Structure 1
Amino acid sequence: MTAAHAHAAEALGVTVHGPQLWGWHGRTLGHRSEHPVHGTCWLRLLSAPTEQAGGKLWDGTELAAKAFPDVRMPALHGLHDWTAAGRAYRAELTRFIDEPVLSPDPVLRTELELTADWFTTIRSTLTKIATASTDRTAVRQQWIDRAVPQYTGRPAPRIEHWECAHGDFHAANLTNGGTLLDWEGWGLAPRGYDVALLVAYSQLAPRTAAHMRDAFSNLLDTSTGHAALLVVCADLLQSASRGDHPDLTPRLLALVEECCGRH
């Protein structure tokens, strides 16, 4: 990956510097870089076996740049694709966002002081995403039917209202200026899915989670919102069963009980 990243830097005409940033399970590698025209950028490399390349996660950033021109997200400056030794690579060169993310990890573990302006920006972003037309899918009813009973012990909700969602809406993908990062998985999901995911991932910072839930009560304090919360709890409990963020499990189970009690 390091050698492939160096190849991508040469192909896209940038000089990299600073620390490397590895993505989930080493599937991506990012590096700050300098471009003679675009200035400070972020060079992100994706890799997969050749037969698994393409599809939703592969072209998400490219298609999001076209679908959401008015959303606060890193501008896409260039792409470079190639294959070598049975692996496919895609390099994405985007504008560097000089704003701290809310958390270094998807699971929020420290309380935040989020401003009214931040919530206004995020509401506007969510509205623009939700109203977009797409045939991409972030969450499928078939997965909900299987995963919700398995990981929550509750009947799977039948989703009647589907909207476009970012699909990975958590504190590590949100900056303190309201910029939204990492667009590879966007697509249709249950209404309220993004804010439900943000709230679920924030349960270890209960004061901030309560603030978020109150701010997005129009989306969450409804039957569709409770269904979205149940779905994201199943998603995160599934991840916890594989070793990710196990400390979040008790809070997720409590959130499941709360959602089902209110429904």
Structure 2
Amino acid sequence: MTDEDVEVAVEERRLWLLGQLNAAATRLNVVPGSSEVVNTYDMRSAGVVARDQDRDVWLRVVTEDPDYQPACRWDGNVEANAISGVPKPEVVRWDDWTSTTDYRAGTRLRGEVMTLANGETISADGVLYTDPHLPDQWWSDLRDGLTALAAHPAPHDDPVDAIGYTIRNTETQFGVTLDRAVFVDVVFVTSHADLHWGNLTGPELTILDWESWRRAPAGYDAATLYCHSFAQPQIADRIRETFADVLDTKSGNVSLLAASVRYLAIVGEGGDFDAFVGQLRELGENVLKQL
């Protein structure tokens, strides 16, 4: 496929999503505003500010994609409404339907109307490249929010097999075989599981994108955010300091290892983490010494 073919395919997908976003507006009785439509990098969803009677809301449409399962749950955003004490959007109402267009006919779609997040997304990419100069209150709110999230009853199932995934990728990336007995005393808590700078707003904190929330080792959210901060060492240090009480535990070390191998696994695909191989390997090696 040539670059021109890719551009044509992306544009076709964008226009189809735009049509589905408008369909969602009709089904959910909101009026899209004049702001720019935001597409995710993978063109799996689209969103825009809309008007719901007397307030602004966020209107989103997402298309089902088996490649994102089981990590990305269809009902993740809606089910996250049950989580309290965390600054996040709430899904006000939603609707599912099946595409009847020639393009992707039969594809399941969901439209969601959500409360509008405070602040602006901190980074267009998940990785942080410039210091956002976040106030102390933001860090305090993040700490409190993740503490409240961890206190929410953790799901019993583990569809991604977090420990198995970490064992397999540790062997692949470091040539070290870990026995499951190493993880017997790891504490699992409710986690966002995809915490990066593209899912955080500032200077007032909102945590976005709840499709992937699930149980994970305590400290996993702080560990993933830490890995997305290597380009700003002072921010990475702030994360280690803010969450030292959990990251310096056995569960926290497992979380750091899990995050390390997660992102090492995608090195070489042309993404942001290609530039951070050294930091990821050093992180993983240091944790393995302690385990």
From 131, 141, 146, give the equivalent of 1:126: 146
What CA distance in whole angstroms lies between the structure 1 residues aligned with 2:128 and 2:191? 20
Aligned residue in 1 for 2:252: 225
Aligned residue in 1 for 2:44: 27
Aligned residue in 2 for 1:77: 92
Q: Any idea what SS the aligned residue of 1:122 has?
A: helix
Q: Report Cα offsets for 1:76-121 as digits up to 9, x if no partner.
A: 1110100122200011110112401221111111123333222221
Aligned residue in 2 for 1:36: 53
Is the 2:70–2:159 Cα contact (8 Å) retained in structure 1? no
Aligned residue in 2 for 1:143: 165
Aligned residue in 1 for 2:230: 203
Q: Any idea what SS the aligned residue of 2:56 has?
A: strand
Aligned residue in 2 for 1:97: 117
Q: Any idea what SS the aligned residue of 1:26 has?
A: coil
> TM-score if structure 1 supplies the norm length?
0.90
* Shift in Å, 1:28: 1.2
* Shift in Å, 1:56: 5.0
Summarize the alignment of residues 1-263 of structure 1 with structure 2, pairs less than 5 Å apart: 1-16=17-32, 17-37=34-54, 39-48=55-64, 56-66=72-82, 68-84=83-99, 85-133=105-153, 134-135=155-156, 137=158, 139-140=160-161, 141-156=163-178, 158=183, 160-176=186-202, 177-245=204-272, 246-263=274-291
Is the 2:71–2:159 Cα contact (8 Å) retained in structure 1? no
Give the fraction of aligned pairs with identical amino acids, expressed as a percent: 27
Is the 2:28–2:93 Cα contact (8 Å) retained in structure 1? yes
Is the 1:137–1:186 Cα contact (8 Å) retained in structure 2? no
Q: Report Cα offsets for 1:29-65 as digits up to 9, x if no partner.
A: 111111114x111111110269999995210000001
What CA distance in whole angstroms lies between the structure 2 residues aligned with 1:224 and 1:209? 19
Is the 2:71–2:212 Cα contact (8 Å) retained in structure 1? no
Q: Report Cα offsets for 1:11-34 as digits up to 9, x if no partner.
A: 111222311211241111111111
> TM-score if structure 2 supplies the norm length?
0.82
* Shift in Å, 1:154: 3.7
Instruction: Give the counterpart letter for 1:158 in structure 2.
Output: F
Q: 5+ unaligned residues in a row in structure 2: which ranges?
A: 1-16, 100-104
What CA distance in whole angstroms lies between the structure 2 residues aligned with 1:41 and 1:54? 28
What CA distance in whole angstroms lies between the structure 1 residues aligned with 2:281 and 2:135? 29
What CA distance in whole angstroms lies between the structure 2 residues aligned with 1:69 and 1:125? 9
**What is the RMSD computed on CA atoms of the aligned residues?**
2.3
Q: Report Cα offsets for 1:158-204 as digits up to 9, x if no partner.
A: 26221110111111111121211110000111111000111011111
Is the 1:138–1:185 Cα contact (8 Å) retained in structure 2? no
Change beyond 3 A, Cα 1:190–1:109? same
Is the 1:166–1:187 Cα contact (8 Å) retained in structure 2? yes
Q: Any idea what SS the aligned residue of 2:61 has?
A: strand
Instruction: Give the counterpart letter for 1:148 in structure 2.
Output: T
Pairs aligned (count): 261
Q: Any idea what SS the aligned residue of 1:185 has?
A: coil
Q: Any idea what SS the aligned residue of 2:74 has?
A: helix
What CA distance in whole angstroms lies between the structure 1 residues aligned with 2:143 and 2:48? 30
Q: Which runs of at least 4 in structure 1 moved beyond 4 Å after TM superposition?
A: 49-56
What CA distance in whole angstroms lies between the structure 2 residues aligned with 1:195 and 1:49? 27
Is the 2:173–2:265 Cα contact (8 Å) retained in structure 1? yes
* Shift in Å, 1:123: 1.6
Change beyond 3 A, Cα 1:155–1:207? farther
* Shift in Å, 1:151: 2.7
